[in-house]
Chain A
């Protein structure tokens, strides 16, 4: 059987190192299978966060050869096995141990977002075309790879001022829900720091669900913020005719 060499980060945020493991490679094997092999036979205390191993829960995010990936969807045969496969934790979050990071900040951001609030008197009828647009955003499995890769968070550490792509997707889902009746543009502008995003599209590239984060969520939200806060004509029209 073929063998692969994995170099896996072992340690905490204080200290750690890459440790080498040799793992037999089976057909169709993914990186998470290799990590499970290490746990099962070589290092039972290797910390890995995972759940479904089916690309549906977004738990097993890590960086494989420097690229943010779901380890359950990264096939070993897609990687060059003539050199070691390097597996490290997500860089934008504090390391708890080995490949497990502290992602609790994301849950704090989420709490700031006003929930779905149906317009009064709705009859709950919606067309599939209107629902399609939002369903794209609802596919998000919260793997936080987009948060991990976003330079505003990864390189500039602006966690206090910036919500990150995941939560722009969530706000977009609420704002574009056919029956939602509240506006979240003030939140986007003032608390989630939408203006920091300079649409480099790194988030879209790493999304395992193929959500067009930049084009379909962030840019339309930026337009809404501009309409609500910076467009004098729209402001005047709003004063005359009213809008949500």
Chain B
């Protein structure tokens, strides 16, 4: 039996309406393309709203000595040289223009005494570089982009989820999805598709990520034949809330440390002196997360298994002005007044450095007509992302993806998907209802988050990763047999049943890549291979689908030209 569905046509289809998706849509629109934006949530609710600390851009408003070269070098060093050098260069060079553009579209950043955009210090950045709005920079960014896009006339499909990309031979030609509200299926025909779907944090138990972060874009791209890269590099943000249980993992912005917050263990010792005496609290996230984890594991943690983070030495008015949402978050959810006493914090799954492998200039994936920008893409951040480099990534590569997607759509023929791809996608979605029995998708999801947390977490070893993989395979089996109760009308159990499949594909890629990389580098720490291995420093791990199975290959990290190499190596 075939199922009726509606059809929409656009030159460019953008999947995801966070910073990268909206910036891509704006750029495609400005090139005259017809643009559709599909998002799982309401417009303006994407994960970007949760970004707090700021946008990294070498504008040199506060520290006059800053320039793109220093930003480039900081990014490469933070990423332990696994970054795509060209992406890091483009990012550092273009970020200031992207920030100025936001201001011209109505964003209001905090100001210096001279009336320029104020910049704050952050981990791994040599200079004060993060343009910010208190601790709600992401909200300012998304509202600005949203208003700009609406004014320019993009068509938004809100609360709509894409489950499959449609292909015509070796190029993408659209997507199939469903309306979350009514459960009706929808087909998009498009000459270019931009993935801007964010990360995979919902596969871990303790996470700062929202429900939307289920690895959709990575799984969609992988299923369509694109390559994933650097999947072993999952960032654990050092400071999430640890108490009370309901808010465990909720982000505590790095801006607390940027503004002078100090980390101490239960004995009152400022333990970062032992892990990174030069940068202390403003060391990179991988280092600080491991430090806190180690303190707790060795018995020096706080009552609820974290570290103390204290900003109360600063004047109360200053804390409330620069960190207003942190002040309210702790007061309302944990009964802690951060102007008077310390917060309890611990690592929380935060960001995926890896993702879909893309071309540095155009953000095109290895599938024609398919682009990826933002967290869903790999390359810019290497083995560890610096705070503040994500919002700038969204703007710089969102714009480039939108530009290339519109230009590509001009040249592309109108494709048509063959062989019943739409019917296959809708059949798969309906199967969940048709089983007479089966367990709840929530149960399978709970077990996945436990597995990833305990076996594919901050510290890894061969034995854990092997059992993690075995567990993931078992969960894939179970996910294929879950049953959904109720109707298709706004049914979260149904939505989760579908998201689970994507999470499991991506989780498998993470565990396999982590098993293959027998060294410790950036966010990837192996207790059985505790040192960095220079030969692994020259290789990225690429994941792709061959004949229905997951295949891992090693590719050489692109060598920077001599002038940039000299820059990276300079003291």
Contacts and interface: CB of A to CB of B under 8 A. Distances in A.
Given A28-B243, A28-B333, A54-B329, A47 B492 contact: yes
Interface string A44-69: 11111111111111110000000000
B49 A52 contact: yes
A27 B43 contact: no
A141 interface: yes
B548 interface: no
A238 interface: no
Given A54-B50, A115-B148, A126-B111, A135 B245 contact: no
A57 B133 contact: no
Nearest to A128: B111
Interface stretch (B98-106, B215-223, B469-477): B98-106
Given A27-B244, A110-B150, A44 B484 contact: yes
B333 A75 contact: yes
B332 A73 contact: yes
Given A29-B244, A30-B246, A41 B493 contact: no
Contact of B246 (A33, A59, A107, A138): A33
A52 B115 contact: no
Contact of A125 (B106, B115, B245): B115
A40 B493 CA distance: 9
B139 interface: yes
B250 A54 contact: yes
Interface string B129-169: 00001101011100100011011000000100000000000
If over half of A's interface residues share one DSSP class (helix, strand or loop), that class is named, otherwise mixed; here it is: loop
Contacts of A174: 106
B105 A116 contact: yes
A45 B244 contact: no
A7 interface: no
Nearest to B251: A54
B67 interface: no
A173 B247 CA distance: 32
The size bracket of the interface on A is: 35 or more
B210 A47 contact: no
B333 A73 contact: yes
A96 B492 CA distance: 13
A68 to B, nearest CB: 16
A41 B484 CA distance: 13
B461 interface: no
A118 interface: yes
Interface stretch (A97-105, A190-198, A220-228): A97-105
A128 B111 CA distance: 5
A239 interface: no
Among A33, A47, A56, A116: residue with most chain B CB under 10 A: A56
A50 B111 contact: no
A200 interface: no
B116 interface: yes
B516 interface: no
A26 B247 CA distance: 11
A142 B44 contact: yes
Given A47-B491, A55-B328, A107-B43, A127 B136 contact: no
Interface string A100-139: 1011100100110001101000001111100100110011
Given A51-B210, A138-B140, A139-B136, A115 B489 contact: no
A44 B438 CA distance: 13
Contact of B325 (A12, A56, A103, A116): A56
Contacts of A151: none
Contacts of A111: 150
Nearest to A143: B45
Given A44-B441, A73-B332, A97 B106 contact: no
Contacts of A103: 42
A58 B492 CA distance: 18
A95 B525 CA distance: 48
Contacts of B106: 115-116, 174, 177
A174 B494 CA distance: 41
A39 interface: yes
Given A26-B246, A45-B493, A53 B210 contact: yes
B310 interface: no
Contacts of A29: 244-246
B108 A177 contact: yes
Nearest to A58: B45
A17 to B, nearest CB: 15
Contact of A138 (B49, B105, B133, B490): B133
B489 A96 contact: yes
Contacts of A40: 440, 442, 446
Given A75-B333, A97-B490, A116-B105, A51 B45 contact: yes
B181 interface: yes
Contacts of B50: 52, 54, 56-57
Interface string B94-130: 0000001001111011110011101000000000000
Nearest to B146: A110
Contacts of A116: 105-106, 147
B110 to A, nearest CB: 7
Given A28-B246, A50-B211, A97-B489, A39 B42 contact: no
B532 interface: no
Interface in B277-299: none
A50 B49 CA distance: 13
Contacts of B212: 51
B412 interface: no
Contacts of A142: 44-45
Contacts of B103: 124
Contact of B250 (A46, A53, A98, A124): A53
Contacts of A49: 42
Nearest to A41: B442
Given A47-B490, A73-B333, A59 B41 contact: yes
B47 A52 contact: yes
A53 B210 CA distance: 7
A218 to B, nearest CB: 20
Contacts of A125: 114-116
B331 to A, nearest CB: 11
Nearest to A54: B250
A91 B105 CA distance: 34
B245 A28 contact: yes
Contacts of A46: 492
B462 to A, nearest CB: 33
B333 A57 contact: no
Interface string B422-442: 000000000000000000111
B486 interface: yes
B45 A59 contact: yes
Nearest to B150: A111
10 contacts: A28-B243, A28-B247, A39-B442, A40-B440, A44-B492, A51-B47, A107-B158, A116-B147, A124-B100, A125-B115
Instruction: For the complex of A and B, list the 8 residue pairs with the smallest distance between their C-beta atoms, beginning with the closest.
Output: A28-B244, A45-B486, A116-B106, A125-B115, A44-B493, A47-B490, A97-B490, A40-B442
Given A26-B244, A104-B158, A116-B105, 14 more contacts: A28-B246, A30-B247, A33-B246, A40-B446, A45-B491, A46-B492, A54-B251, A96-B490, A98-B490, A107-B158, A131-B111, A139-B136, A142-B44, A142-B45
